[in-house]
Structure 1
Amino acid sequence: MSVSDTDQPDFDAYIATAHALAERAGAVILPHFRAGTAVDHKGGGAFDPVTAADRDAEMAIRQLIAETYPSHGIVGEEFGNERADADYCWIIDPIDGTRPFIMGQPLWGTLIGLTAHGAPLLGMMDQPYTKERFWSGETESYFARDGKTQTIQVRPCPSMSEAMLASSTPDMFTGANERPYARLAEAVRLRRFGGDCYNYCLLAMGQIDLVVETDLKPFDILPLVPIIERAGGVVSTWEGGDPRHGGRVIAAGDPRLHAAAMEMLSG
């Protein structure tokens, strides 16, 4: 049964829908994981993989959104935009981290976000294989595993020399991005590659201090923004702008660290 906009569902109704979307996507994705699923290349110079799990999960998500909120918009990685200018718009990436997915690494997740009049209202990252889920409430962020839910918060880290930095791949940092990133990487205590959406959630959980990336699309980052911010973190572009449109993004658990890292990346 669909829910019309005149019913004005509250935040709890929207987050319940996000949980339902995650459950449906996970049921579609899991049979493909570590199962020798065929991998296609979307095209272009760099390898850009996609699988039936990506496509089928996004279709399942889109179907449930259409059934529940037919007037809402959808922005998705695999099948483009529908009514992207709607008052409420779902931002979805069925498998953020297709590369680790096809390699059998559980460092991927389903991203589900909802904007209200263009502003991020809620976000969720679901990892069905490890049975972990991160999401934003109205004022806090949460983590659940094995039926147990806890509030999560970023950790303080004012010093760059104590910071743990994560990025998905060194391939992001070429050309004009290479020297600023190298300068930052030399200043931190530890740098690790790999992780995709997982890194941002671990930052919100207080396990990582900095996540720095480039070339992100809206569906790569927008669902993660409310999770980070409501856990006490900061996320912006390298220049300090709005991260919801993607591009070069920096997230930090400590505002002081965010400011210092942003200065290093722009200097």
Structure 2
Amino acid sequence: MLINPVLERITKYLFLLCACIAGILHFHQDAWPEPAYYDQSLLEPPLQTETDRDSFLIEANELKYTIHPKFDYELYGVVVSYSNADGFTNIWHHKRWRDFINVRDLCVIWGKNVESGVYKRMKFDSDSWTCWAYWPDQETRTLFTMNALSNNHIVSDDDKVKAALMQAEPGDLIRLKGVLAEYINHTGGYTRGTSTTRDDTGQGACETIYVDEFAIVKKANPTLRRLASLFNWLTLISFVGYFALFISTPPKPRYR
């Protein structure tokens, strides 16, 4: 008996098994943790104080940007959604504006929005501009506090900060420290501002933050996410193995 047909069947079933497990884990890895999972003492409103930092110039992709700090800013929050500036559906930041310093938008909640567990009843979504919060009924809307949610345009030219930032996922407790700032894109010829209060809404209500420090304080569902990553790789590897064996296995002889 040729060994290739046997290995082909093994890798096919292994691929199917890994794909099924990866699919199941995909739908469970972003389940919201319970409120008790988080240290509520950290989830106070963001700390905003006067700054003594002067304006400064940074570069990204050989383009120049001027940062104008407004306030020192520190935030602990639970991530509920995000939008990547280089995402497939995001045509604004890189393609149209030539903006390479607004790396990612993070929508976060804190305070009673976490303590009450109301987030577990809700859905959140982010696009290039906005964080959207959806509630199923008026009772949930009453429990949810809009000034304990912020959509944060994260600005950085530090590779370590950007690498840490891109690891944040829904449900993660994060900490960031930097300055609320407006910045000038000298190539695009425009200025992007920032909100300086948590009580505003609509256009201009997002916080633009030049981040000096970023950390994931507590990862949501770490075991499930590690398993999901593992089975994603196993699915890919088993598929490649199956495909290679499929095309290399000679056809079965036919008898009359």
What range is the shorter-chain TM-score in? Answer: under 0.3
> What TM-score do the two structures reach when normalised by structure 2?
0.25
For CA contacts below 8 A with separation 6 or more, give which structure has more relative contact order. Answer: 2
User: Which of the pair has more CA radius of gyration?
Assistant: 2
